Each structure stands twice: as C-alpha cells, then as structure tokens.
Structure 1
Amino acid sequence: MRSLLEELCHGNMRPDVIRIANDPEYLQMSQNISEVMEAWKKKHTEDEFTELEALLDLYAQAHSMELTSTFTYGFRLGAGIMIEVLTGKEELAKKLCTFSEVQSL
C-alpha cells in the first residue's frame, strides 16, 4: 500500500473528482436532477435547452472554484492547527488570514 504522499504524487488523490456515491441522499438528488433536466429538454426548444446547459456549465465552473478555495483554506487551517499543537506556537492561525485565498472567501 502506498503512502498518502505517493498516492498524491501519482495523481490518485483528487478531492475535486471524488463522488459521494454511497450517500443515498446524494444518489436521490442526482436522480432528481436527471429527471428535471429531461423534463426541461422535452418542454423547451433545443436552443433554449442549450442555453440552460451553458448556464449550468458556468455555474459548475464557479462552484468548482469555490470548492477549490474552500479545500485549500481548510487544508491550510488544518495544517496550521497541527503545527500549533505540535510546536505550542499560537500565532500561526493569525498568519493564515494573510493568505490571498482566505481574503477572497
């Protein structure tokens, strides 16, 4: 079994693409989305549906950016907490707030 660093190095750790597929609520929501999209497709013209898909693609891109920023901040915060716990230096959490990603949240 590889270490976490080896898995990360080999591209096997991708939090942005890991699904929560085993969550029944997630599966139900995915099914509902598919049904609503199919209903929209039947109700509207091809051009209107294409516009909807373009809007949803833009939303997905923005959401991905938000997830990346949140993940990055959370990872830094967790690492900072661990460093503070292990070193006893409590000023590190305050320094986290100077990162540019945090200011954009």
Structure 2
Amino acid sequence: MNSILEALYNGRLRPDETMMPTHPEYQLLGRQIAALTEQWKNRLSEDEFRELEQLFDLCGQGDGMHSEAAFVQGFRLGANMLIEVMSQREESVLANSADCSVGMI
C-alpha cells in the first residue's frame, strides 16, 4: 500500500482535479456564466469575443494562483496546528507522568 505522500509525489494524487465545490448554488452559477457567455458570443464579432475569452483565461489564471496560495497557506496552518497539538500533548503527558510518580512516593 502506497502512502499519501508517495501518491502525491508520483502524480497519482491530484486533489485539484477531483475537487468539486459543494455549495448549493455552484451549478446554478455555472449555468448562468455559460448563458451569459453565449449571449456575448452572439453579440460580439469573432475578434471581440476572442479578446473576451482571453480576459476570461487571464482571470482563470489569477484565480488558479489565488487557489494555490490558499491551499498552501491552509496546509501550512493545518501542519502547524498538528505540531502545536503534538508538542502540547508531550508536555501534558510528561506533566501527568510527573504527577503520578510524585504521588507514588
């Protein structure tokens, strides 16, 4: 059985490709975007619409960069929380051990 880290390293784990927002309005929003895009496609010339698509692509790239930064920051925060919890756990275990050994004297 491979570890999560091995799967991530070897490219078998791609959370960005399997993530699907669960917000109830997500699909509705997608349909609205598609409908408005089609309206603009019918209104604009081919060149103008191509420029609009370039704008959409740039916005998508910016959103992707923001999502990546948010993922990294969230992952670091989670890892730091685990470090904090585990370091306090050790302190707590040591304190409890000390209390028990003192009580046994």
Q: State the TM-score, normalizing by the size of structure 1.
A: 0.72
Count residues with an aligned counterpart: 89
Aligned-residue Cα RMSD (Å) equals: 2.2
CA contact (8 A) 1:40 1:49 kept: yes
1:21-80, CA deviations, whole angstroms, 9 ceiling, x for partnerless residues? Answer: 665522222111111111110011111101100011111111111111110011001000
Q: 44-53 vs 3-12, which deviates more?
A: 3-12
Of structures 1 and 2, the larger Rg is shown by 2
Matched with 2:44 is: 44
Structure 1 segments of 4 or more deviating over 4 A? 21-24
Q: 72-81 vs 4-13, which deviates more?
A: 4-13
Tell me the SS of whatever aligns to 1:12. Answer: coil
1:4-33, CA deviations, whole angstroms, 9 ceiling, x for partnerless residues? Answer: 224313323223333416655222221111
Q: State the TM-score, normalizing by the size of structure 2.
A: 0.72
Matched with 1:64 is: 64
Tell me: CA distance 1:13–1:40, structure 2 relative to 1, closer, same or farther (3 Å): same
Matched with 1:76 is: 76
CA contact (8 A) 1:16 1:68 kept: no
* 1:10-21 equivalence runs, <5 A: 10-20=10-20
Specify which structure has the bigger relative contact order, considering alpha-carbon pairs within 8 angstroms and separated by 6 or more residues: 1
Q: Work out the percentage of aligned pairs sharing the same amino acid.
A: 43
Q: What residue ranges of structure 2 are gaps of 5+ in the alignment?
A: 90-105
